[in-house]
Structure formats: structure tokens, C-alpha cells
Copies of this chain bind each other. A is one copy, B any other.
């Protein structure tokens, strides 16, 4: 069983318009509303891979209820903690020229009691079920301290459950103190973490071996179309991906995390973890829908991913 944590989920609405005009009344006949948030994308992909998954996090108001219903429709088990304020809406408007405008809500402010309740709900879950991995993805909502992930990571370590973390900014900076099992920053996230520019392959290599990050057993730096570079314990890997037609890269990082988490629960080799994760990331990019992978194409793509050990 894998637990996913989405502290700040969102109702994602994507409007398709011929043109989007500032200062005008725009109308959209075509729109898609989905349960969003990085951890929920991970849950969807895990489900498609056949993993047992429980989605957790905070949900509030009727927007929260929309997410609960969508998660249920996908037959994903969930144990969300109720919060008083409404779950946020995130709006994307895409015009025919492909211009992408976003309007993101801040989301609910979590109270101290709600934060405690979530922690209780989660530990209750650890006691009741055999949890083989925890995946926490995305930002920390207002009200929770920037170190909130630290508490969760320490609890997981105490229970010897690998904690996979995909976040950025201060949340990531704080969380690494608690030594998560795996982090998956992209180049700009790792640059911000190490407070220096990272552009060349050599700079990525140095980042993976940086003193500050030594305590993290597994670091995967995603490079978009450039694949990924990773350090798993002391081994360094380069991941080369085939050229594909990208429909939408949104959620590919989440799909990659899902694939890696699944393999980690199977105690697979480092190569296998990286290969399955990368395959899921590519499969997600091949579809417009976020958190969807066409499992039929898995084996074909899987073979085309190259994992090279660099040391």
C-alpha cells in the first residue's frame, strides 16, 4: 500500500477559447474540470500501474467535495482530512494560439487543530495498514509551518517507511533536514536549493554530489526532454529518453514519481526504479490529460529508455 499526500489540492479548470481578451467578457463552451494537485496526479498514475494507493491531504467546502467525488470515480481509496476553508480553484485559459493564462487561488489556511488532525489520521493509517511508501507532492498550504514536511518525514523514518518528496522552494529547503528517502527536483528547483546556477551536465553532476544533499539517499534531477540524472546512494545515473510527440508535459514529473514509488515498494534495482519512473513520465506527456498513462504503450517505451551508470 502506498500513501500519497496532497496538502493543497485544487479543482483544476481548463477553459478553451478562440481568443482570450483582457477587459472583456469571454465565454467558454469547452472546459474540463478535474481533481488536481500533484499528489492526486501521483495517485491516478499509481492506480493505473495497479498499485494499492490511499490518497490523503486536506479537503474543504464544496470544491473539496468535488475532488472527493472525482477520486471516488477513479476508484482510488482516500482518507482526506476535512478543513474549514474551501479547497482552492486553479484556472487555466488556453486560446487557439496556444497562449496559456493561469489564475491560481491561494487555497485554504489550515488551522492548528486541522494540522494535528491530519497527523493523527495519517499515523492511524500507518497502524491499520501495511504502508510500503509515502509520496508527498506539492506546496504547503498557509497555516502549516514551512517545516511541516519535516514532521511527516520523521514519523515515516521512525516507522521505516520510505518517504518520497516532490516539492520546491522553502518547503524543500526545510524538508531535506529531515532526510527524505528520495527527492525529485527539476533543474531550477535544485539551483534554488543550492543557491547557485546549474546549467551544464557537469553542474548537475556536482549538484547530485553536493555536501548539502549528501544525507538524502536518492536524488533524481528531472531535465524535461533531456531525461534525468540521478544519484542513488553512491551510484550516479544518466537517464536518456526517446523522442516523442509531447501533447502536454503537465504532470509528467508526478507520473515519474508514481512509477518510482511503485518500483521502490517492489524493492527493485535502482535502474528499474529509474526506468519505470521515466517511462511513466513520458507516457503522461503523450496525452493531454494530466495523470493519465496509456498502459498499453508501457512495454514499448520502457525498452527505449536508456539508463547509463556514470561511475
- Chain A contact-residue range equals 20 to 34
Whether A102 and B26, one on each chain, are in contact in the complex, defined by CB atoms closer than 8 angstroms, is yes
Which residues of chain A in 99-122 are interfacial with respect to chain B, using CB atoms and an 8 Å cutoff?
Answer: 99-106
**Considering the chains assembled together, what is the distance between the CA atoms of A33 and B66 in angstroms?**
16
**Considering the chains assembled together, what is the distance between the CA atoms of A69 and B31 in angstroms?**
25
Whether A26 and B62, one on each chain, are in contact in the complex, defined by CB atoms closer than 8 angstroms, is no
Which residues of chain A in 59-112 are interfacial with respect to chain B, using CB atoms and an 8 Å cutoff?
Answer: 61-63, 65-66, 69, 86, 89, 91, 93, 99-106
Most buried by B among A21, A28, A99: A28
- Given that A65-B62, A65-B65, A89-B13 are contacting pairs, would A106 and B22 also be in contact in the complex, using a CB cutoff of 8 Å? no
> What residue of chain B has the Cβ atom nearest to residue A33's Cβ?
B86
Whether B104 and A27, one on each chain, are in contact in the complex, defined by CB atoms closer than 8 angstroms, is yes
* A24 within 8 A of partner (CB): yes
- What secondary structure prevails in chain A residues at the interface with B? strand
* A200 within 8 A of partner (CB): no
* A15 within 8 A of partner (CB): yes
Task: Beyond the given A15-B105, A27-B105, please list 16 additional residue pairs across the A-B interface where CB-CB is below 8 A.
Answer: A13-B89, A15-B103, A20-B22, A21-B101, A22-B99, A22-B101, A26-B102, A26-B104, A27-B103, A28-B106, A29-B106, A61-B66, A62-B63, A65-B65, A91-B91, A91-B103
Copies in the complex: 2
**Considering the chains assembled together, what is the distance between the CA atoms of A29 and B13 in angstroms?**
18
* Minimum Cβ distance to chain B for residue A37 (Å): 16
* Minimum Cβ distance to chain B for residue A36 (Å): 14
- Given that A22-B99, A91-B91, A99-B23 are contacting pairs, would A28 and B104 also be in contact in the complex, using a CB cutoff of 8 Å? yes
* A311 within 8 A of partner (CB): no
Which residues in B have their C-beta under 8 angstroms from that of A17?
Answer: 103
* A243 within 8 A of partner (CB): no
* A25 within 8 A of partner (CB): yes
**Considering the chains assembled together, what is the distance between the CA atoms of A103 and B62 in angstroms?**
20
- Given that A13-B89, A91-B91 are contacting pairs, would A103 and B26 also be in contact in the complex, using a CB cutoff of 8 Å? yes
